[in-house]
DNA sequence: ACAAAAGTGTTGGAACTACACCCATGT
DNA sequence: ACATGGGTGTAGTTCCAACACTTTTGT
């Protein structure tokens, strides 16, 4: 038995995170500038190596924290990528994660030391290795997930307006929704608490602010909004 | 840059497959007997080591073929498992796959050399490592997937009856459906071709046989049957 | 005053659920 | 003849999509 282990070739294991953000208008992706580039692509997903003492989830958390200072955000495994040629330097299996953060949270944390930058999903730079493929899978997964679980709120700031959430969902699915139907749908989850204040400054009239009912949200696992995963989109 | 690679600890990469089968009655799982057991659990998922020249998908295909003689079956990555303690012998990351095969196909192929056996999902033996957790994830994924893609047909023999498919879906979701509504739903996909013959021998009346319209099936990517992923079930 | 975004209700159609009886055949 | 499983239709309900006008307020 133990011999079966010894003969086997080992492999580097990397963790890469697709970090989605939302600024109230557009769906964005956080990319980092490679210190030293291996080829002409200078931007890549946030990533690092798996340590021998940590699980995959722990490693992904750690790397996200080291590079952005963010902790406790939505971070879920996407899948593993292991083409033998995907990293030309050495055979590497990468386990990809996707994270949802709101851009405002992130801006208040450190960074810049790591040369991180938000990119519009519609305007991504050339990317390292198979990172583009990872992003493609991640957006598919996000659409799939968001159709049944209210993960969209992970991307919103503490308080937000209905038109903002609608912008987010439109950005995720790359299509427009009727605002009457949308607000009915989103309110019917019972997960939103309407606040007294209005958001001012953006529109003339101002929109009512809402916050997430965290207790309900935490225990909420049911099927949800019926957005149809959209085959086309960015990418 | 290259130094960054050298310092990193490498890791064994395993591939394990959750192989679902259907015998017309019940959802089953194909397990193998470990030649030498590392602990009291003698049964495990089919698995093997990733080779340095193959991709993850290729490796999973290869291992499935080596152990069962099956090729060209539905085989899709589930996710990676990498708890540092999951394999007590040595740190191993396992990329799990799930496969859908029909039991009849499998029976006609070789095997037995590898001591493989079908188990009812309701009556699984003690399993190696975290294989039980993998199975749990796999059934969740299968439910999720089957709710929107007609993957159920992968588990059916060449020709089959509506009551058989219904049995399958009931086995997947662990609940019963109204047969009138079910047959309407399944026929409304337009993926089934009714044959002249009836299945004899099982019921007195006999049920009409159908076969899959392969051309339509191959190009079919749309949303599909609206089964709600069921939180409880076996496991 | 007007431009720009927020907010709000109704209606028709589609899809789903629930439900019960007859049919064909082997024993 | 009867027991077993196969096959079929309808009515009520719910859910969704489509649709337009009024409100607020900053300029």
Q: What is the pLDDT of residue B231?
A: 44
The CATH architecture annotation of domain B2-139 reads Alpha-Beta Complex (3.90)
Least confident stretch, A19-23, A77-81, B206-210, B217-221: B217-221
Instruction: Give me the mean pLDDT over the B22-45 stretch.
Output: 80
Confidence of residue B104 (pLDDT cuts 50, 70, 90): confident
Nearest Cα residue in chain B from A51:
B9
Residue A16: predicted pLDDT: 97
Is the separation of the CB atoms in B29 and B121 below 8 Å?
yes
At residue B61's C-alpha, the angle toward residues B60 and B65, to 5°, is 115
Residue with tokens 């796959």: B97
For residue A201, the model assigns a pLDDT of 86
| pLDDT 10s digits, A78-110 | 999 999 999 888 899 999 999 999 887 776 554
Q: What fold is seen in the domain B148-228? A: Arc Repressor Mutant, subunit A (1.10.10)
pLDDT digits (tens, 9 = 90+) for A192-224: 999 999 998 889 999 999 999 999 888 765 555
Six-digit token pair at A122? Answer: 């519609």
Mean pLDDT of the B15-43 span: 83
d(CA A101, CA B45): 36
B226 CB below 7 A from strand C atoms = yes
Identify the three-state secondary structure at position B10: coil
Query: What is chain A's Cα-based Rg?
Result: 19
B142-184 tens-digit pLDDT: 998 888 888 899 999 999 999 999 999 999 988 899 999 999 9
The residue assigned the tokens 């079919």 is: B220
* Rounded CA separation A234/B22 (Å): 39
Quick one: three-class SS letters along B205-231?
CCEEEEEECHHHHHCCCCCCCCCCCCC
Residue A235's pLDDT is 47
Residue A231 has pLDDT above 50, yes or no: no
Through-space separation of residue A147 CA and nucleotide C15 C1' in angstroms? 19
Taking every pair of Cα atoms in chain A, the longest distance, rounded to a whole number of angstroms, is 72
Q: Chain-wide mean pLDDT for chain B?
A: 86
Average pLDDT score, chain A: 86
Beta bridge partners of B116: B32
Q: Is the pLDDT of residue A158 over 80?
A: yes
Max mean pLDDT among A27-31, B3-7, B22-26, B95-99 falls in B95-99
The encoded tokens of residue B42 equal 């003698």
C-alpha angle with apex B206: B201 to B211, nearest 5 degrees?
A: 100
Residues lying close to strand C (Cβ under 7 A), chosen from 145-204 of chain A, are 161-163, 179-181, 183-184, 198, 202-204
H/E stretch holding A95 reads strand A92-102
Per-residue model confidence (pLDDT) at position A233: 45
Q: Who wins on pLDDT, A218 or A3?
A: A218
* pLDDT tens-digit series, residues B173-184: 888 999 999 999
Q: Which residues of A touch B128 (CB under 8 A)?
A: none
Question: What local confidence, expressed as pLDDT, does residue A135 receive?
Answer: 97
pLDDT at B224: 60
pLDDT given at position B233: 46
Chain B residues with a Cβ under 8 Å from any Cβ in chain A: 1-2, 4-5, 8-13, 35-36, 38, 49-56, 59, 77, 79-84, 89-91, 93, 95, 148, 221, 223, 228-229, 231
CB contact under 8 A, A11 and B54: no
Shortest alpha-carbon distance between residue A214 and chain B (Å): 22
Q: Where are the domains of chain A?
A: 2-139, 148-228
Distance CA A107, CA A116 (A): 11
């Amino acid at each position: 038995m133990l011999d079966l282990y010894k003969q086997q070739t080992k492999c580097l294991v990397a963790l890469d995170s697709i970090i989605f953000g939302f600024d109230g208008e557009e769906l964005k992706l956080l990319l980092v500038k490679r210190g030293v580039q291996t080829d002409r692509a200078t931007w890549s997903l946030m990533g690092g190596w798996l340590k021998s003492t940590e699980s995959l989830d722990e490693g992904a958390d750690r790397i996200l924290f080291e590079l952005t200072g963010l902790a406790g955000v939505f971070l879920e495994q996407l899948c593993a990528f292991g083409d033998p040629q995907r990293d030309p330097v050495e055979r590497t299996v990468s386990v990809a994660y996707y994270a949802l953060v709101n851009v405002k949270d992130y801006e208040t944390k450190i960074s810049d030391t790591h040369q991180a930058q938000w990119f519009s999903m519609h305007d991504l730079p050339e990317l390292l290795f198979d990172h583009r493929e990872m992003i493609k899978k991640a957006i598919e997964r996000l659409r799939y997930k968001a159709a049944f679980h209210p993960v969209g709120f992970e991307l919103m700031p503490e308080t937000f307006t209905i038109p903002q959430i609608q912008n987010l969902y439109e950005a995720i699915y790359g299509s427009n929704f009727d605002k009457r139907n949308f607000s009915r749908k989103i309110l019917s989850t019972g997960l939103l608490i309407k606040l007294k204040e209005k958001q001012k400054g953006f529109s003339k009239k101002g929109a009512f602010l809402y916050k997430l009912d965290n207790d309900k949200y935490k225990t909420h696992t049911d099927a949800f909004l019926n957005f149809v995963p959209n085959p086309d989109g960015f990418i």
